[in-house]
Chain A
């Protein structure tokens, strides 16, 4: 590449892409912090903010329930994260102990199952849950969303257990530790980073998940998670409240994603299919 022209090209590409990626967030912010006559009521609203107000935010909190769905989403997301590591850790441990030919097949099987359309699975589940009184409950939504995150959690913990030197486990046994002490005092502390990653990825997936949530907990807006409620507000044509809601729900996740950045490797995100 003739260096100067190449560099210039790179920078132009970087700038254009940066604008594209930041633009929607920018719009969300200027929509939420400007009075409605500059945004919603204007035919051609300005791209740069001309005034500042907190009234949209304040009014939105008064007019619709924002805290309820967010709390609900938090509860679901934490439950999904906990179930993910609760089921993922033992599964990863067990699979790390059997022949890798068999365990690889099982992991691939989990990912293949994960490719099934969410709606195909969600609708029958909603009928089961209706009978089990799990519809419209935090636990029900979490159980359903768990399907999306489980393969990845198992894959992450399996890789973590596989990467541990076998002799450490042996050493612990020789040092007098029982099977359970070996597991909880030696193995688990050593893979705490992958466990945290698995938890947070499950948490973030749940926070974003819409399909299962809208099928399992659709009826009363405040009974559902934040994405379903936001969809409800958008379809009820409440753009200002929706903007506030979207912003409030997004900021913590952006912070979380920034913190997580060093762990967000393609390997994890592609669902473990990158060898």
Chain B
């Protein structure tokens, strides 16, 4: 694998606020990289500075060996799909897709051929002459994608392109997007706050926190071995459980485990607070004996431990379980070791 694009010590300041704070990141050729992070962590800013509609304050963005951070957007040869699609309302679908080609001074015949080919791939061949306001949400998303794909940019940036679609359309659009990216072999950088999108679309995931990369890797790796407590909290359908290290002979440290890492056993005991059924299993919220959440300075609120079980528990009853695996974090929240 070769490096397509790299960010080297990139800073972006708004006033004194560091939206990007010494960000370092390599994007590999042909990969589908998902930038995941809660809102306000600099995800969109990262894309906007990459494409050039905002300047970076310091650092370098290198694309194909060339520092592009001082170039204007139209000289960077990067395509981007905006969250709201930003389709030109005064043009037809065809004219929208044609616009980048027109700007690149493509031959008319060749442009037509390219547009028809991409329209075929994205199944929008029959709406090419329509106006933008006659399109459904899913069609708009495809047109925006087609406009990005039609020329041959070096890299594609997508800013939460599926967030405006309703759930059913989003599901198929996701599958299609992944398929197209693999077929065409393009490099995609995709920003989202949606865990499912990150899990299903990505080759790799980079989690953004406070303008820097907290961890980068395959989604499952981040899910199972998050490098920090914050990551364990943020990544995954349910946040990771954290208990005092004392309960498993790790005094002074913190134990982190996912809800489904529990097994039958008697290592931990607790009191059931709530039990909900989910298809063929139960989610039990409970406290854990020996855990002292009050000492945990990071916790803003006392959160119950959630474990997955195969049987129903009554509220107020006692629960005992063991852990198949767990992670040990130091009091500062960094991963010390993985215990399997």
Contacts and interface: CB of A to CB of B under 8 A. Distances in A.
Interface of A: 165, 167-168, 170-179, 181, 185-186, 189-190, 192
B90 A190 contact: yes
B50 to A, nearest CB: 10
A28 to B, nearest CB: 42
Contact of A168 (B83, B86, B151): B86
Interface residues of B, number: 24
Contact of A171 (B72, B77, B86, B151): B86
A176 B72 CA distance: 9
A175 B53 CA distance: 12
A44 B274 CA distance: 97
A192 B89 CA distance: 12
B1 to A, nearest CB: 26
B80 A172 contact: no
A174 B89 contact: no
Top 8 nearest A-B pairs by Cβ distance? Answer: A176-B103, A173-B73, A171-B86, A175-B100, A167-B86, A170-B53, A189-B90, A167-B82
A171 B74 contact: no
B254 interface: no
A175 B148 CA distance: 8
Interface of B: 48, 51-53, 72-74, 77-80, 82-84, 86, 88-90, 99-100, 103-104, 147, 151
A181 B73 CA distance: 13
Given A172-B88, A176-B74, 15 more contacts: A167-B82, A167-B84, A168-B89, A170-B82, A172-B99, A174-B52, A174-B73, A174-B78, A174-B79, A174-B80, A176-B151, A178-B103, A185-B99, A189-B90, A190-B88
Contact of A173 (B52, B77, B89): B52
Given A170-B53, A170-B73, A176 B100 contact: yes
A171 B82 contact: yes
A47 B1 CA distance: 94
B90 A170 contact: no
B103 A175 contact: yes
B99 A175 contact: yes
A178 B74 contact: yes
A69 to B, nearest CB: 39
9 contacts: A168-B89, A170-B51, A170-B73, A174-B73, A175-B74, A176-B77, A178-B74, A186-B88, A190-B89
A165 B86 CA distance: 8
Contacts of B151: 176
Contacts of B88: 168, 171-172, 186, 190
Contacts of B86: 165, 167-168, 170-171
Given A167-B82, A181-B103, A174 B90 contact: no
Contacts of B77: 176
Contacts of A172: 88, 99
Nearest to B99: A175
B147 A175 contact: yes
A173 B74 contact: yes
Nearest to A171: B86
A170 B74 CA distance: 10
Contacts of A177: 74, 99, 103
A167 B85 CA distance: 9
Contacts of B73: 170, 173-174
Contact of B53 (A174, A176, A185, A192): A174
Contacts of B83: 167
A203 to B, nearest CB: 24
A71 to B, nearest CB: 35
A171 B80 contact: yes
A192 B151 CA distance: 29
Contact of A176 (B82, B84, B104): B104
The listed residue with most A CB atoms (<10 A of its CB), out of B52, B53, B72, B83, is B53
A192 B86 CA distance: 18
A167 B84 CA distance: 8
Nearest to B78: A174
B77 to A, nearest CB: 8
A200 B73 CA distance: 36
A170 B144 CA distance: 14
B99 A174 contact: no
A47 B126 CA distance: 64
Contacts of A178: 72, 74, 103
Contacts of A170: 48, 51, 53, 73, 82, 86
Contacts of B104: 176
A176 to B, nearest CB: 4
The listed residue with most B CB atoms (<10 A of its CB), out of A170, A171, A185, A186, is A171
A173 B72 contact: yes
Contacts of B79: 174-175
Contacts of A174: 51-53, 73-74, 78-80
Nearest to B51: A174
The listed residue with most A CB atoms (<10 A of its CB), out of B48, B84, B99, is B99
A165 B103 contact: no
A25 to B, nearest CB: 39
Contacts of A168: 86, 88-89
Contacts of A192: 90
A192 B91 CA distance: 13
Nearest to A178: B74
B180 to A, nearest CB: 19
A269 to B, nearest CB: 27
A179 B53 CA distance: 12
A14 B207 CA distance: 68
